[in-house]
Structure 1
Amino acid sequence: MHKVEDLKIWKKSIDLAKSVYKLTSALPSNEKYGIISQIKRSVVSISSNIAEGAGRNSNKEFKHFLSIANGSAYELQTQLILTIELNLLSKEKVQPSIDMLTEIQKMNYSFQKSIENKTSVLNTNI
């Protein structure tokens, strides 16, 4: 188990969620049950799955939840791009969140690889 509060990727995903929640407040209210709801679910899913994985009993389980968080990150990326493409928000407003998201995606990939390497080492030593 990992202490979730110590994980940089979790902290960054919380910061991203706060940023994205602020962004959604600028979206039209008629999107409340559409893209706003989807965006909020996706962004919350990232940090939630990292936390759930951190609380699991094995690195294999943790990696699985990091993979789910990564899927949510790509879902969020698509939704943020859609807000630009649909002229709901300007690229200038959305880009900082996309940049944070890209950093989290890279961190997640690296973290999964490091966990995979630790699991491989553990399996060869058993």
Structure 2
Amino acid sequence: MDFEKLDVWKKSARLSAELYKALKELRDFGFRDQITRSGLSVPSNIAEGMSLSSNKQKQHFLSIAKGSCAELRTQIYIGMDIGYIDKKQGRAWLIETREIAAMLSSLMNRIKADGG
């Protein structure tokens, strides 16, 4: 399956782009770099995993994507606490990261059911 057709890839790529746009003026380069890297890691690992032939490899990269999603969620919480991220925007992103994580779990379960 082409990763570009996956809703979870589309959603996570859109979130990654949103993070870059929203935080482009942030002067704390360390925080900005870390949170945008976490966000970028999710769709990147989905793409890499789904481009591989073995189900075990797919599972591995989807697991990394799910871990990056949890990392991103943590950074959003911290960003909200320290005033870098608007609370309303942060809450919306937290919901999206939970949805993405659930979608990744579902995709991993489908791959497992297919013999992986």
One-letter code aligned to 1:83: G
Residue 35 of structure 1: CA displacement?
A: 0.8
| 1:23 maps to amino acid | A
Contact 1:60 1:119 in 2 (8 A): no
> Within the alignment, does 1:20 sit opposite 2:16 as a pair?
no
Partner in structure 1 of residue 46 of structure 2: 50
Deviates more, 1:68-77 or 1:93-102: 93-102
Query: TM-score normalised to the size of structure 1?
Result: 0.86
Task: State the Cα distance separating 1:26 from its structure 2 match.
Answer: 5.0
Give the aligned CA root-mean-square deviation in angstroms. Answer: 1.3
How many Å separate the matches in 2 of 1:25 and 1:102?
Answer: 24
Distance 1:22 1:98 in 2: 17
Matches of 1:90 and 1:55, distance apart in 2: 36
Deviations 1:46-66 (A, max 9, x none): 000000001111111101100
Q: Distance in 2 between matches of 1:82 and 1:117?
A: 37
CA deviation vs aligned residue, 1:29-57 (integer Å, no higher than 9, x gap): 1x11x110001110110000000001111
How far apart are the structure 1 equivalents of 2:40 and 2:107? 19
Take 1:117 and 1:107, find their aligned partners in 2: how far apart are those partners?
Answer: 15
Give the number of the structure whose alpha-carbon radius of gyration is greater. Answer: 1
Percent identity between matched residues is: 37
Report the count of equivalent residues. Answer: 116
Alignment of 1:106 onto 2:102: yes
Where structure 1 has 5 or more consecutive residues not aligned to the other structure, the ranges are: 121-126
Q: Which amino acid in the other structure matches residue 45 of structure 1?
A: S
Once the 2 structures are TM-superposed, how far is the Cα of residue 23 of structure 1 from its aligned partner? 2.3
Residue number in structure 2 paired with 1:62: 58
TM-score (norm 2): 0.93
> How many Å separate the matches in 2 of 1:107 and 1:22?
24
Offset of residue 77 of structure 1: 0.4
